[in-house]
Amino acid sequence: MKRPGKRTLMQVFRKERTKMKPYAFGIDLGGTTVKCGFFKNDGSLIEKWEIPPIKDNGGVQILPDIAAAIKGKLSERDVSPEDVEGVGIGVPGPVLANGVVNGCVNLGWGVFNVAEELSGLLGGIPVVAANDANVAALGEQWKGGGEGNQNVVMVTLGTGVGGGIIVGGRILAGGHGAAGEIGHIQMRKDETAVCGCGKKGCLEQYASATGIVRMAHLALKEERKLPSLLDGKEITSKEIFDAAKAGDDAALGLVDTLGEMLGTALAHITAVVDPDVIVIGGGVSKAGQILIDAITKHYRTAAFHACRDTEFKLAVLGNDAGMYGAVRTILNR
Ligand code: ZN
């Protein structure tokens, strides 16, 4: 090793620190699949693959399996661990900025430091852990619908309503790892049905794929004019949006209700966060412009005047958003 000579140790440290290693991994850990991405340090994807999360015995095997997948890829590609800047991992539960996950119901996990544990399994390669919805938001801010903007709110409309808030190009994790839990903003105090979180009247009870179907069944009970597609069969959110696009009055009403709930909630959020752009993703966002129109109609009337014209965009990275966001957390340190 060369001796530092007249340079101070701090100068040497800074020089070493600014030289980023050539490779990194982005891992999106979900309840049904683990998406793994091997990246160059400029964020370009070299290869992606998936492994299943084994959830038996409280999910004890999940991190060792991920570590094995990473080590396997390194030896397959003849890359030294010394050349890996680090691993970013998105986890389906609240995660504090220091890497401590506060329980993942889907995986059977309790409270522990997921970043420290995975780093230990990888022989000390640095690991950053964050909430999965937050890393998806970071991915869309970096290389998706929010690209070119530093302040982004992302809403993911799937089975539930997920969310992530990016401020100054960084994830807002919050004091309890729960920042961006947009789906559990209380929208109605008179709701009698219980949300998955145990509260009543949460946004995702109305504005998710399951929420709009639930609203359709309620409309059926109230014997209002019904979409023809409700004729005695199971319906999906896609069918409701398709019927709305075809001009069905009742389906248009359901889409409008979803737009009102989301538009109002997002107006509340922008009054606090004031993002440059709001990105809408998840399976329901495949409905496209009719969804954006339904949300913005109500958003523009509910929003504070200074952020009334905030731009809405559809997400573009799909299921890869979490992987991109995860690797960004490590490249962004
Ligand atoms: Zn809830």
- Work out the average pLDDT over 155-183: 92
Q: What are 37's strand-pairing partners?
A: 26, 48
- Do 215 and 244 contact (CB within 8 A), yes or no? no
Phi and psi torsions of 294, nearest 5°: -65, -40
Average pLDDT, the chain: 91
Residue 222: pLDDT band by 50, 70, 90 thresholds? confident
**Tens digit of each residue's pLDDT (9 = 90 or more) over 30-84:** 888 999 999 999 999 999 999 999 999 999 999 999 999 999 999 999 999 999 9
User: Is pLDDT at 196 greater than 90 in this prediction?
Assistant: no
Which SS3 state, helix, strand or coil, does residue 151 take? coil
- Work out the average pLDDT over 229-239: 76
Which SS3 state, helix, strand or coil, does residue 135 take? helix
Of 159-168, 218-227, 303-312, which range is least confident? 218-227
Distance between Cα 12 and ligand 1 center (Å): 50
Residues of the chain above pLDDT 90, percent: 79
- CA dist list (Å): 76 to 29, 71, 72, 107: 22, 9, 6, 29
User: Is pLDDT at 8 greater than 70 in this prediction?
Assistant: no
pLDDT for the residue numbered 90: 96
Distance between Cα 292 and ligand 1 center (Å): 23
d(CA 180, CA 185): 10
Distance between Cα 205 and ligand 1 center (Å): 7
User: Is pLDDT at 228 greater than 90 in this prediction?
Assistant: no
Distance between Cα 196 and ligand 1 center (Å): 6
113, two tokens: 């430091």
Distance between Cα 37 and ligand 1 center (Å): 31
Distance between Cα 181 and ligand 1 center (Å): 9
User: Is pLDDT at 157 greater than 50 in this prediction?
Assistant: yes
- CA dist list (Å): 309 to 148, 153, 276, 304, 305: 18, 14, 10, 10, 8
Of 3-7, 123-127, 218-222, 250-254, which range is least confident? 3-7
